[in-house]
Amino acid sequence: MIVCVCNRITESEVRKAARAGCSTPEAAYGCMDCEVQCGCCLDYAQEIIDKECARGSRLRLVTAEAA
């Protein structure tokens, strides 16, 4: 699914950037050599990043508890 129409950035690309450490849409788009243009996608992109970061934190917690 396309998150950013201006840059044709998909949800999976935003998730991948979040897993690589990007905590904002601006940082995530920058990792893809893109820039924010109209800004319409920022709230949704941030939501995806926040969920991915929370998911990563939960996975690390479960992994640490299992060790």
Give the binding site for ligand FES (CB under 6 A).
4-7, 36-41
CA distance 22 to 11: 14
Closest CA to 17 of 48, 58, 59: 48
- Give me the amino acid identity at 31: C
Closest separation in Å from C-beta 45 to ligand FES = 7
Supply the minimum distance, in Å, between the C-beta of residue 13 and ligand FES: 12
Alpha-carbon span 67 to 61, nearest angstrom: 10
Which CB sits closer to ligand FES, 26 or 56? 26
Least separation in angstroms between CB 62 and ligand FES:
33
